[in-house]
A and B are shown apart, each in its own frame.
Chain A
Amino acid sequence: AQSVTQPDIHITVSEGASLELRCNYSYGATPYLFWYVQSPGQGLQLLLKYFSGDTLVQGIKGFEAEFKRSQSSFNLRKPSVHWSDAAEYFCAVGAYSGGGADGLTFGKGTHLIIQP
């Protein structure tokens, strides 16, 4: 069975500073990897995804993530955070098998706090 670990429950970053959110996954085959963001009281918005190809993927709002198979990681980065980036961030792995919709397995989330 697949699993996702986000080791940081909370991260505090100053506005304008760089950001890296960690994500490690466990899956027996090539994973489909996603980052979603959830603002307070809101739904889940897809930031970016990795299916195959270039291991550095660009997403919305200036985010990027790098897939490193050797480390089983898919860390999310942003060079300069804005106060509006304060939210909950979820890493997820998709385990798709032929003929079945297995859905996503989520990490427990990282709560990002932006300080002025």
Chain B
Amino acid sequence: DTAVSQTPKYLVTQMGNDKSIKCEQNLGHDTMYWYKQDSKKFLKIMFSYNNKELIINETVPNRFSPKSPDKAHLNLHINSLELGDSAVYFCASSQDSSGNTIYFGEGSWLTVV
């Protein structure tokens, strides 16, 4: 079983559309994250949730909205997609916020055309 799974793995969509990426972890972790990897492969944290509560919200356009229905799920909704949103989005989780290892999903490749 994949520990952190995210769907879809590949997504091609037109500008202006609204899309969602789903993430689930079966590790029993309390903390989940979304990271963005740009075309230069630079990874940067976008959001983190601890027990369904938003902890980090980096400087991200408000078109991006995370939603955590329970602590095993953290979905990413993106409204009014723009060309610059094309990137790889990684979901991740850790046991808690006190220094444990972060485990990453396999990534979702988003291309906006």
**Residues of A that sit less than 8 Å from B by CB:** 32, 34, 36, 38, 42-46, 49, 51, 88, 90, 92, 94, 96-106, 108-109
Minimal Cβ-Cβ distance residue in B for A36: B104
Q: Give complex CA distance A90, B42 in Å.
A: 9
Say whether, besides A88-B41, A108-B42, A109-B41, A103 and B101 are in contact (CB < 8 Å).
no
Residues in chain B within 8 A of chain A (CB atoms): 31, 33, 35, 40-45, 48-50, 55-56, 90, 94, 96-99, 101-107
Contacts A101-B94, A102-B56, A106-B43 known; A34 to B101 CB distance under 8 Å? yes
**B97 adjacent to A104 (CB under 8 Å):** no
Contact across chains for B97 and A106 when beta carbons are under 8 A apart:
no
What is the CA–CA distance of A101 and B102 in the complex, to the nearest angstrom?
A: 10
- The A interface, classified by DSSP as helix, strand, loop or mixed, is strand
Is A90's CB under 8 angstroms from B103's CB? no
Interface centre among A42, A43, A46, A92 (most CB of B within 10 A): A43
Contact of B97 (CB < 8 Å), options: A44, A101, A108: A101
Q: Which residue in A42, A96, A97, A100 is a CB contact (below 8 Å) of B106?
A: A42
- With A88-B41, A102-B56, A102-B97 given, name 12 new contacts (CB 8 A): A32-B99, A36-B104, A44-B43, A46-B104, A96-B99, A100-B50, A100-B56, A101-B55, A101-B56, A103-B56, A108-B41, A109-B41
- Of the residues B40, B44, B99, contact of A51 by C-beta under 8 Å: B99
Q: Is the CB of B31 within 8 A of A101?
A: yes
CA distance A106 to B18 in the complex (A): 29
**CA of A51 to CA of B94, assembled, Å:** 14
Give Cα A98–Cα B42 distance, bound, in whole angstroms.
Answer: 27
**A30 nearest in chain B by CB position:** B99
Contact present for B48 and A101 (CB under 8 Å): yes
**A32-B98 Cα distance, complex, nearest whole Å:** 10
Of all chain A residues, the one with the shortest Cβ separation from B41 is A109
